[in-house]
Structure 1
Amino acid sequence: MNDSSTPDGSYLVVVNDEQQYSIWWANRALPDGWSAEGKQGSREECLAHINEVWTDMRPLSLRRRMESAGI
């Protein structure tokens, strides 16, 4: 995927219910189960943002199970 995939080279950072992040074309409807996180920009800007905010790769459900088990 490159910036020529969108007319203006713009992407969104998207997140799902498990707090997993990805990027999506800004000019396309979001896929089911994903919502815009708030960051929009070039592919590189969005990926850099994800690297900053997604510090725990475990899905939310796993983190909750581990917390409840005292792990």
Structure 2
Amino acid sequence: MSDSGAPLRAVLINAEDQYGLFPVGAEMPGGWRSADFTGTEAECTGYVDEQWTDMRLLSLRHSL
């Protein structure tokens, strides 16, 4: 899934359904959970582009 030697990233999601990339092996920041996807930065960016189709905050989507 990843290029040899390229640093791996993990895709994370926060409570507002925002996505972020974080280095694999580093302690996960508070308020974030795993999206169960890891890969190179390019692979993770592609995954986020496919998954994060509504960029509004979760709280905003629920208030409408």
TM-score by length of 2: 0.89
**Which structure: larger Rg?**
1
Q: What amino acid does structure 1 have at the position aligned with 2:41?
A: R
| TM-score relative to the length of structure 1 | 0.80
Q: How many equivalent pairs are there? A: 60
1:44-67 CA-to-partner distances (Å, cap 9, x unmatched) read: 00010000000000000000001x
Partners of 1:36 and 1:8 in 2: how far apart? 20
Deviation (angstroms), 1:8: 5.6
Q: Percent identity?
A: 35
Report the equivalent of 2:18. Answer: 20
Distance in 2, matches of 1:36 and 1:26, equals 11
Judging changes above 3 Å, is the alpha-carbon distance between structure 1 residues 29 and 8 closer, same or farther for their aligned structure 2 residues? farther
SS at match of 1:23: strand
Instruction: Choose from 29, 32, 49 the match for 1:34.
Output: 32
Please, which runs of 5 or more residues in structure 2 have no aligned partner? none
**What is the Cα-based RMSD across aligned positions, in Å?**
1.2
The structure with more helix, counted as a fraction of residues: 1
Gaps of 5+ in 1: 1-6, 67-71
